[in-house]
């Protein structure tokens, strides 16, 4: 039995199906990273260091993975356009160094942008194709007081970047007690020129005293070393 040519309805359906498939594929590629975080272990609230911060709501054992840094993947040009439209977005954009794919080729750079149109963390980062809401808890993590970094400075969260998956994983470096604020090193690219040098020195002394007292009480040795996350943040 010979089959006739496909009907106009069949062609329209197939075209619509192909268009939907292409749209879904594009959404999948552009999807925001960082879908969930351990909200059972963390809470966002006002920080004595700066603005809002992330605090342990219960004991966080060393080695606990707290989640993946949230944000849409943006090229440097796209991030520049976003920062021009919403300057505050620069405070939350995470810079990812992408290794060269071939010997001698230049390395690349991409950004994770967790912010909405106003430049603040948003469950639906814009602009971008539609996707499911993301958890932006980890976008609020501060640096230690005064921007201190190093083995005695109080960073208690380790950052692991994966340039292949474009994911940045946050992991507890030591046991973290309830009420403690979580800290990361914003990395060498972060501009700390606005930090007050006198306040930084005072913060250093107070913070080291507090950490020494905490370690004495709970028997913790060490608060972590310098990390390798380049955050363009507050």
Residue 26 has pLDDT above 60, yes or no: no
Residue 34 has pLDDT above 70, yes or no: yes
Residue 62: name the closest of 155, 156, 140 by CA.
156
Query: For residues 147, 151, 156 and 159, what is the CA-based torsion angle, rounded to 10 degrees?
Result: 80
* 42 vs 10, more confident: 42
Query: For residues 14, 16, 21 and 22, what is the CA-based torsion angle, rounded to 10 degrees?
Result: 120
Average pLDDT over residues 169-182: 96
Task: Say what the pLDDT of residue 87 is.
Answer: 94
* 55 vs 166, more confident: 55
Residue 152 has pLDDT above 50, yes or no: no
pTM: 0.70
pLDDT tens digits, one per residue of 46-73: 998 888 999 999 999 999 999 999 999 9
Average pLDDT over residues 142-155: 70
CB-based contact 150:103 (threshold 8 Å): no
Q: Which structural domains are found in the chain, ordered by start?
A: 30-233 (2.170.270.10)
pLDDT tens digits, one per residue of 99-123: 766 665 556 889 999 999 999 999 9
Calculate the average pLDDT of the chain: 77
Task: Say what the pLDDT of residue 132 is.
Answer: 85
Lowest mean pLDDT among 65-79, 147-161, 179-193: 147-161
């Amino acid at each position: 039995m010979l089959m006739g040519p496909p009907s106009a309805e069949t062609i329209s359906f197939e075209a619509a199906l192909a268009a939907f498939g292409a749209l879904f594929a594009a959404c999948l590629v552009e999807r925001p990273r960082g879908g969930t975080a351990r909200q059972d272990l963390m809470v966002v609230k006002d920080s004595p260091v700066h603005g809002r911060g992330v605090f342990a709501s219960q004991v966080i054992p060393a080695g606990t993975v707290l989640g993946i840094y949230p944000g849409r993947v943006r090229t440097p040009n796209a991030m520049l356009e976003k920062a021009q439209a919403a300057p505050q977005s620069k405070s939350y954009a995470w810079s990812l160094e992408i290794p060269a794919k071939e010997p001698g080729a230049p390395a690349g750079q991409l950004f994770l942008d967790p912010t909405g149109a106003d430049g603040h963390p948003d469950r639906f980062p814009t602009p971008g194709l539609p996707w499911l809401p993301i958890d932006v808890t980890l976008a609020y993590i501060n640096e230690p007081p005064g921007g201190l970094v190093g083995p005695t400075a109080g960073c208690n969260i380790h950052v692991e970047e994966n340039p292949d998956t474009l994911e940045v994983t946050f992991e507890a470096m030591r046991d973290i007690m309830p009420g403690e604020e979580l800290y990361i090193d914003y990395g060498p690219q972060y501009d700390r020129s606005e930090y007050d040098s006198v306040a930084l020195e005072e913060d250093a002394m107070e913070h080291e005293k507090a950490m020494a007292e905490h370690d004495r009480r709970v028997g913790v040795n060490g608060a972590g070393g310098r990390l390798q996350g380049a955050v363009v943040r507050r």
